[in-house]
C-alpha cells in the first residue's frame, strides 16, 4: 500500500499507458520463459532485476534475499548499481519503520517521494544514491506463503508506482516461484550428489576391505555379494545367488553352515567357521562368517554379513598351542633338573656353605643354557663351549682351553644337559686341575660320525697337567653322576670318564638325530 496508508486501488488506473502495459506483459512472458528454463539462481535474479528495470523504466532495481533471522536481508542482484555492492547485508533496527513492517508482515511499500517519508529507515541511503521514487515489493509465491525477500524499485525523480503495482506483484510472485523451483532443484541435486557420494564411499569400503561381503534373505538365500567373492572363489555372481554360494563351501562344513543359519533365526546373529574354495591356491581355506539382520522387507529380515579369512590365524593359534605345550614341558623338565641338581649338590656338600656355592654355580650354568635356548639363532656346539669357557672368567682362557671341531647344530633337547656336563668338567678343573694350577692344557675336540645310519657327535675333553692321582676312596660327585648316568638316560649317549695322575679324559658319544 502507499506510504500514507491509502488503498492501492485509489490510484487511478489511467496512469498506466496502454503501450506501457503491453510492454510489461511482454516482459512478464519473456521472464516467465527464462524462469522455466533457468537453473542458475544468480543469473536468474540478475535477469529479474534487468527485466523489471526496463519494464517500468526504473533507475535502480535491487533484489534482496531475506536471511534466516527475518530481520536482515542480503543483496543478491541489482541493476543500476556497482557490482561490488552485491553480497552486502542490511539489518533493520527500527521496528516502526516501513522496511521492518515489510519484513514482518509482508506488506508492500510505495513512497512517491522519499524526502516526504520520515518512516523510511533507509531514506539516508536512498538520498545518497539520489533516489526519490520508491517501491518495495515482497517476494512471495502467493498469499499466506513465506516471504523470500523483497524487490526494490526506485527512480531519481519522485514517482508513484501505484499504477505498476499489479504488474510488480505478479512479477515478484513469478520471481519467488522461480527461486523456490531452483532452490528445490538444487536441494534435489545436492541430495542426489550426497547419496551418490555416500554410495561411492560405501562401494569403496565394500570393495576395498579384504572380507567377502554379502547380503542374504532367510534360509541362506544370497541376493548380492561383493566382487571379492568372485575374485577369491572364481565363481560368477549369478551362480552364487540364492543357495548357489554353498557350492564353494567345503562339503564337510556344509552341515555346520546350515545349522548356523538355523540358529541365527533364533539368536539374531549368524556365526560359523567353515572352509571356502580358493581359486588362487587351488585349495580350501578357513573363513569366519558373521552376519546381522539390518532391515525388514515384507516382514523378512535382510542379512548383511562377511566371511573373513582366518586360515593364517588358525595356523598361528595351532603353533601357539604347540609352543605353550613345549614351554610347559620345558618348564616341568627344568624344575626337575633344578630339583635333581639341588639334591645331588646337597648330598655331596660337606657344609651349607659348600652347598650354596655349588648350587649357585650349577644354577648359573643352567641359566646360561636357557639363554642360549631362548635366542633366535640356531645354536652350535662351538657357541655353547665358548659360552662356558667365557663364564670361567680367566684371562688366558683361549690359550689354556682350545676348541677344535666343525660347526655342529645342536638339538634343543641336548643343550641343557650338555651345558651342565661341560660346566661340571670345568668346575672340576677349577678345583683340582689345569685351571686351578694355571699350568697345563685342556683340549676339547669333536667331530660327527655316522653310526648305523645315524649321525653321532663324538666329543672329547682331554685335560693334561701335574697333579696326583685321586684317592682310591674318592666319592662319586654330581659331575660323574651326570656324565655316567644322566647323560645316557636323557640323551641315549655313551660316555667314558677317567681321572688319573696328571690327566682327565671324558669322551661322549651322543646321537644328533637330524640336527647335524
Question: Please, are residues 63 and 152 in contact by the beta-carbon 8 Å criterion?
Answer: yes
Question: Please, are residues 23 and 119 in contact by the beta-carbon 8 Å criterion?
Answer: no
**372 is written with which cell numbers?**
642360549
Task: Determine the 3-state secondary structure of 10 from DSSP.
Answer: helix
pLDDT value of position 515: 43
Strand-pairing partners, residue 110, are 2, 135
Contacts 24+ apart (CB under 8 A), 26-34: 27/51, 27/52, 27/54, 27/55, 27/171, 28/55, 28/167, 28/170, 28/171, 28/174, 31/171, 31/174, 31/175, 32/174
Question: Distance (Å, rounded) from C-alpha 222 to C-alpha 233?
Answer: 15
- pLDDT by residue (tens digit) across 48-101? 999 999 999 999 999 999 888 877 889 999 999 999 999 988 877 778 888 888
Question: Distance (Å, rounded) from C-alpha 55 to C-alpha 33?
Answer: 16
CB count within 10 Å of CB 326 equals: 11
Cell 498469499 identifies what position? 143
Q: How far is CA 237 from CA 244, 283, 305, in A?
A: 9, 20, 16
The stretches in the chain having pLDDT less than 50 are: 1-16, 514-516
Question: Distance (Å, rounded) from C-alpha 78 to C-alpha 85?
Answer: 9
Question: Please, are residues 291 and 304 in contact by the beta-carbon 8 Å criterion?
Answer: yes
**135 is written with which cell numbers?**
517501491
pLDDT value of position 9: 37
Strand-pairing partners, residue 147, are 140
By 3-state DSSP, what share of the chain in percent is helix, strand and coil, each rounded to 5? Answer: 50, 25, 25
Question: Please, are residues 41 and 182 in contact by the beta-carbon 8 Å criterion?
Answer: yes
CB count within 10 Å of CB 398 equals: 12
CA Rg value for the chain:
50
Which domains does the chain carry?
8-186 (3.30.450.40), 209-309 (3.30.450.20), 315-511 (3.30.565.10)
Environment class of residue 358 by beta-carbon count within 10 Å: exposed (0-12), middle (13-18) or buried (19+)? Answer: buried
Amino acid at each position: 500500500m502507499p506510504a500514507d496508508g491509502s488503498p492501492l486501488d485509489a490510484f487511478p488506473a489511467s496512469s498506466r499507458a496502454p503501450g506501457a502495459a503491453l510492454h510489461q506483459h511482454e516482459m512478464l512472458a519473456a521472464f516467465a520463459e527464462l524462469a522455466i528454463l533457468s537453473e542458475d539462481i544468480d543469473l536468474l535474479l540478475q535477469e529479474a532485476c534487468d527485466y523489471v528495470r526496463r519494464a517500468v523504466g526504473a533507475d535502480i532495481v535491487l533484489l534482496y534475499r531475506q536471511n534466516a533471522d527475518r530481520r536482515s536481508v542480503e543483496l543478491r542482484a541489482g541493476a543500476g548499481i556497482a557490482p561490488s555492492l552485491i553480497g552486502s547485508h542490511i539489518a533493520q533496527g527500527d521496528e516502526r519503520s516501513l522496511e521492518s513492517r515489510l519484513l514482518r508482515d509482508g506488506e508492500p511499500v510505495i513512497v512517491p517521494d522519499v524526502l516526504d517519508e520520515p518512516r523510511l529507515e533507509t531514506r539516508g541511503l536512498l538520498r545518497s544514491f539520489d533516489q526519490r521514487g520508491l517501491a518495495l515489493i515482497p517476494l512471495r509465491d502467493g498469499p499466506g506463503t513465506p516471504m523470500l525477500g523483497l524487490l526494490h524499485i526506485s527512480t531519481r525523480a519522485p514517482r508513484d508506482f501505484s499504477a505498476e503495482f499489479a504488474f510488480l506483484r505478479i512479477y515478484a510472485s513469478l520471481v519467488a516461484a522461480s527461486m523456490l523451483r531452483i532452490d528445490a532443484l538444487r536441494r534435489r541435486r545436492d541430495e542426489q550428489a550426497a547419496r551418490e557420494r555416500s554410495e561411492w564411499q560405501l562401494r569403496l569400503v565394500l570393495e576395498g576391505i579384504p572380507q567377502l561381503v554379502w547380503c542374504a534373505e532367510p534360509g541362506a538365500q544370497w541376493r548380492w555379494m561383493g566382487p571379492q567373492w568372485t575374485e577369491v572363489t572364481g565363481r560368477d555372481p549369478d551362480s552364487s545367488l540364492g543357495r548357489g554360494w554353498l557350492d564353494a563351501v567345503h562339503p564337510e562344513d556344509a552341515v555346520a553352515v546350515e545349522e548356523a543359519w538355523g540358529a541365527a533365526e533364533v539368536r539374531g546373529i549368524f556365526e560359523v567357521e567353515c572352509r571356502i574354495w580358493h581359486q588362487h591356491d587351488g585349495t580350501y581355506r578357513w573363513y569366519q562368517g558373521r552376519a546381522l539382520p539390518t532391515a525388514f522387507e515384507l516382514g523378512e529380515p535382510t542379512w548383511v554379513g562377511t566371511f573373513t579369512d582366518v586360515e593364517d590365524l588358525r595356523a598361528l593359534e595351532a603353533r601357539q598351542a604347540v609352543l605353550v605345550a613345549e614351554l610347559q614341558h620345558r618348564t616341568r623338565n627344568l624344575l626337575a633338573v633344578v630339583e635333581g641338581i639341588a639334591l645331588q649338590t646337597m648330598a655331596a656338600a660337606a657344609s651349607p656353605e659348600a652347598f650354596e656355592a655349588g648350587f649357585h654355580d650349577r644354577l648359573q650354568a643352567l641359566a646360561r643354557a636357557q639363554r642360549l635356548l631362548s635366542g633366535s639363532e640356531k645354536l652350535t656346539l662351538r657357541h655353547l663351549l665358548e659360552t662356558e669357557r667365557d663364564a670361567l672368567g680367566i684371562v688366558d682362557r683361549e690359550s689354556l682351553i682350545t676348541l677344535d671341531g666343525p660347526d655342529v647344530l645342536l638339538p634343543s633337547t641336548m643343550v641343557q644337559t650338555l651345558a651342565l656336563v661341560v660346566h661340571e668338567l670345568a668346575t672340576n678343573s677349577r678345583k683340582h686341575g689345569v685351571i686351578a694350577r694355571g699350568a697345563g692344557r685342556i683340549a676339547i675336540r669333536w667331530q660327527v660320525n655316522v653310526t648305523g645310519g645315524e649321525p653321532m657327535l663324538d666329543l672329547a675333553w682331554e685335560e693334561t697337567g701335574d697333579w696326583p692321582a685321586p684317592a682310591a676312596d674318592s666319592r662319586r660327585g654330581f659331575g660323574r653322576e651326570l656324565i655316567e648316568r644322566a647323560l645316557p638316560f636323557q640323551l641315549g649317549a655313551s660316555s667314558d670318564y677317567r681321572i688319573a695322575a696328571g690327566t682327565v679324559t671324558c669322551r661322549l658319544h651322543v646321537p644328533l638325530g637330524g640336527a647335524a
